[in-house]
Amino acid sequence: MATLLLELGAAFAAIALAGSLARALGQSVIPFYILAGLVVNPFVLGTLGLPAIEDREVITVLAELGIVFLLFFLGLEFSFEQLLASGDRMTRVGLLDIVVNFPVGVGLGLALGWTPIEAVVLGGIVYISSSAVITKSLIDLGWIANAESEPVLGTLVFEDLAIAVYLALLAALLGGTADLGAALVDVAVVAGFFLALVLAVAVGGGWFERMLAIRSNELFVLRAVALAVLIAGAALAIGASEAVAAFFVGMGFSSTDHVHRLETLLVPLRDVFAAVFFFWIGLRTDPRLVVGVAVPLALAVVLTAPAKFVSGYYGGRLYDLDDRRSVRVACSLVTRGEFSLIIAALAATQGTGPVLTETVPAFAVGYVLVMSVLGTTLMDSAGTVERLLEPVLPG
């Protein structure tokens, strides 16, 4: 226990130091948290013979809580009525996003000489954006209540629902077509879970209001955290996205009189756990493996970053946004994260052959690291990006 506490203390110290350095340099904290995890992991410090921080289960759980709280706060910003009103646009930006970006990964995989299933795995890894990283950046930049957040949110929700179906079908493909029926059952269970959650949010406004009607701040926080984590855990247990589940719980509270109190009391929890999530990405990255996949990684970054930018820009235009806000949408969606790592983990555990068990996991961690840094940097520099692209933007 003492060793575990010491490692947790060292992890928080590294995160705090990275955050202070980022603030001193006037940069986003996200890349610095990721790089802090990378520097102190066993693949870097350990190989130098220095004490390193292990990727232990407790850190993984804290990182999961970071995803839950980030998406919970995103849900607080949107009411159920807003979601219904933007349903048609959300579907269109989601379809545009998947039609543009998924084939890029599949095509790259085939061009590298991979099998069709291996290429489909690569398609999923490069298609899905990071809900957690993007939400944190939206909050840090103060864009969360702006018009550009709606197409970003629509794309993220569509992606998270699509990836739940994708993961079930991919597991069947990797395990053999004999399991296709079981995969379809899994998809139906996930769809039923989210339908029940949407109905609860639609008709349960009074229940959400009464649940938090208590003076004690301690019990108020405990009730909100308990509901968000329980629903997120249930989602994970059936193979659904904990991020989408937490988003709907936040949306359930968005129409109550407790929104301001939730934001005030839960912000410290959200920021601490979110920082651990970004640190955790770096902690599990072995830079030596990333070097071994440098060629496909470079090709993927060159091809998929512009593709995501283009689909994001036109997604903003589908919401009738001007160039400035559409460029913000485009910059926001470049980041990849947690789901790319989940897809790679599934390929490594259920797939066969060196591509799925060795190349894909190494590619995924390097890709997430590069795209996280690139995406957050683009969001920070959205104004400069718009000025550079102004001559070629349709206007």
Look at residue 5 and tell me if it is in a domain.
no
Integer Cα distance of 30 and 279 in angstroms: 8
Q: How many domains does the chain have?
A: 1
Look at residue 284 and tell me if it is in a domain.
yes
Look at residue 10 and tell me if it is in a domain.
no
Fill in the DSSP letter of residue 265.
H
What confidence tier does 175 reach under pLDDT thresholds 50, 70, 90?
A: low
Residue 114: both structure tokens together: 């991979």
Largest CA distance in the chain: 62
50-59, 150-159, 182-191: least confidently modelled range: 182-191
Contact between 137 and 382 under an 8 Å Cβ cutoff? The reply is: no
Domain containing 367 — which CATH number?
1.20.1530.20
Integer Cα distance of 16 and 58 in angstroms: 18
Contact between 119 and 355 under an 8 Å Cβ cutoff? The reply is: no
Look at residue 380 and tell me if it is in a domain.
yes
Is the pLDDT at 178 greater than 60? The verdict is no
Integer Cα distance of 187 and 176 in angstroms: 17
Integer Cα distance of 130 and 339 in angstroms: 7
Task: Note the pLDDT of residue 222.
Answer: 95
What confidence tier does 288 reach under pLDDT thresholds 50, 70, 90?
A: confident
Which 3 state secondary structure label does DSSP give 172? helix
Task: Note the pLDDT of residue 119.
Answer: 95
Encode pLDDT of 220-233 as tens digits: 999 999 999 999 99
Residue 6: both structure tokens together: 């010491």
Look at residue 8 and tell me if it is in a domain.
no
CA-derived radius of gyration, the chain: 20
Integer Cα distance of 200 and 222 in angstroms: 20
Residue 90: both structure tokens together: 């959300």
Task: Note the pLDDT of residue 236.
Answer: 84
- DSSP per-residue letters across 41-83: STTTTGGGTS------HHHHHHHHHHHHHHHHHHHHT--HHHH
Encode pLDDT of 72-125 as tens digits: 887 887 777 777 777 788 889 999 999 999 999 999 999 999 999 999 999 999
Is the pLDDT at 177 greater than 60? The verdict is no
Mutual angle of helices 116-127 and 360-380, in 10-degree steps:
30
* Domain extent for 69: 57-389
Residue 1: both structure tokens together: 């226990």
Encode pLDDT of 249-285 as tens digits: 998 998 889 999 998 999 899 889 989 988 987 887 7
Look at residue 287 and tell me if it is in a domain.
yes
Look at residue 6 and tell me if it is in a domain.
no
Mutual angle of helices 360-380 and 259-283, in 10-degree steps:
130
Look at residue 47 and tell me if it is in a domain.
no
